[in-house]
Amino acid sequence: MTDIACLNEALESSDCTVHNTSSNLINVTAGGRQVTINKSRTNGHWYYSFEQGQEYRMRDFEIWFRELEGIYANIVQEKKRRIEEEKQRQKKLAKEAEELRHQAARTQQKLDSKSQQKLSQLETEMSQSMKVLAESQRQLDSVEKSRMKYVKSTEVEIKERADEGGWKIARDNHDSTRRVSRMQFRRVSN
């Protein structure tokens, strides 16, 4: 979870009480525990922590947190689905408008008032649809930007830790089509 807007939506949909929120932490009560969810400084990922030996007492909260992650993933998928639906709606509206224009051109007459009104209505709907699509795409781009920031900073952190531990990168593969990165390390002998 890296996007604050989607996280806030997920929190609203979940069974919890949000006490206060800032850009770096969120205090919630869930699973019978009041916990602070923090934003990682290195990669922007949201997490929580508890003291060693508290695993049993935090079990219900941990279950709730896993459910929250599922809700977050569903919200991101829903945003993608809405964008796709809006694109399909735009195609349909454009096709209808084009058919009306061709009909008028074939008859070589001016559009009668009914057809003119329908064409105007279609163009208005298309304009609104384009605005909705642009906003939805902006939100999805924000989610993807925060995800990529998380991936890059995590990759840098892994490389730094490996270097400190005496490991060197043997292979570093990135497949952007599958959105997968694979790093292989080898221990450096002294």
Q: Reduce the secondary structure of 146-186 to three states and give it as a string.
A: HHHHHHHHHHHHHHHHHHHCCEEEEEEEEECCCCEEEEEEE
> How confident is the model over 23-79, as pLDDT tens digits?
888 888 887 778 888 888 877 778 887 766 777 777 888 888 889 899 989 988 998
Judge if pTM exceeds 0.75.
Answer: no
User: 36: which strand partners?
Assistant: 27
Burial label for 61, CB within 10 Å (0-12, 13-18, 19+), is buried
- Dist. CA 184–CA 56, nearest whole Å: 35
Neighbour tally for 44: CB within 10 Å: 19
> How confident is the model over 67-120, as pLDDT tens digits?
989 998 998 899 889 888 888 888 888 888 888 777 776 665 555 677 777 778
pLDDT at 150: 84
For residues 144-170, one letter each, b for 16 or more C-beta atoms within 10 angstroms of the residue's C-beta and e for the rest, the string is eebbeebbebbeeeebeebeeeebeee
The residues spanned by each domain of the chain are: 4-142
Q: Which residue matches tokens 């935090």?
A: 58
How many alpha carbons lie under 13 Å from residue 134 in its C-beta half-sphere?
Answer: 6
pLDDT at 11: 86
